[in-house]
Structure 1
């Protein structure tokens, strides 16, 4: 694809095949998919997956249980266990008993994990900067503001599927 065709593709609307209106589902899904692949490739530079970085970064902020981290990272229980197991094997985090709830485990980031969080955050910031840098300056804050409004407003909560309708599957997380 030449730079001119990339620009043409980027500016061409993505119409619905039926109505010709903008296909917002396609636009959001495609950009999320491409951003996820770019983030995965970038974090691979330090041997991390986006999922592992997300969990480790949240755990580094403050003392949190595995359940709290799963919720913050939008991970199901099984995926969270696998992720923390991987972080423990890599020496980046450890499960320790909670001081306030003996049934709960806190995920503590090790010194090596803190170094990886810092390196990973630089990569995440670079990838996000590249995305926003692809937009003209006046559009960047409008774009982020619009996404925030959708995320905290109209698209904050998934809809329940009516009886007899197959539920939409949650997107798969990185397999690392």
Structure 2
């Protein structure tokens, strides 16, 4: 006999919605040949001079994933590795002119995906929804907990 659930399954709600949002974002960005990681690197590299390590931290990417992402951006002519203007030992990711145009386009796509999510929330609930979500990510769910067992990926629906 299964135990009776005492609280709503918040893990499922957050995992499932996050997974579906990521798939929608991936599909939308794929239409212009980008991944979410590529978009993240382009946008944050345009903000200011940043190294590959700094961009990897912002995008929560490991070194290997970051290298593959920047390699893809370089192959597409959207970014290039260059020496830093302030530290000759460091290399930064510089966005090309073409990359800056693609970043504008990808930001419009990302904004559209986010708008579609917010449009699915009734107008009278939108402000509360955003306040609650921001409160969670800046408060109780701000910092991952160290654990000896890695966290599993999001549960899949039984479809």
122, 125, 128: which one aligns with 1:136: 122
1:168 aligns with 2:151: yes
16, 24, 29: which one aligns with 2:15: 29
**Runs of 5+ unmatched residues, structure 1:** 1-15, 172-176
In the alignment of these two chains, the number of paired residues is 153
| Equivalent residue, structure 1, for 2:91 | 105
Write the deviation string for residues 26-78 of structure 1: whole angstroms up to 9, x where unpaired. 00000000000101111111111111111111111111111111111111111
Q: Aligned with 1:156: secondary structure? A: coil
Structure ranking higher on relative contact order (CA contacts 8 Å, 6+ apart): 2
Q: Aligned with 1:22: secondary structure? A: coil
What does residue range 58-77 of structure 1 map to in structure 2 within 5 Å?
58-77=44-63
1:51 aligns with 2:34: no
How far did residue 99 of structure 1 move? 2.1
32, 36, 39: which one aligns with 2:25: 39
**Cα RMSD (Å) of the superposition?**
1.7
| Equivalent residue, structure 2, for 1:115 | 101
Q: Aligned with 1:34: secondary structure? A: helix
TM-aligned CA distance change 1:170 to 1:68, over 3 Å: farther
| Equivalent residue, structure 2, for 1:9 | none
TM-score (norm 2): 0.90
TM-aligned CA distance change 1:59 to 1:170, over 3 Å: farther
**Runs of 5+ unmatched residues, structure 2:** 155-159
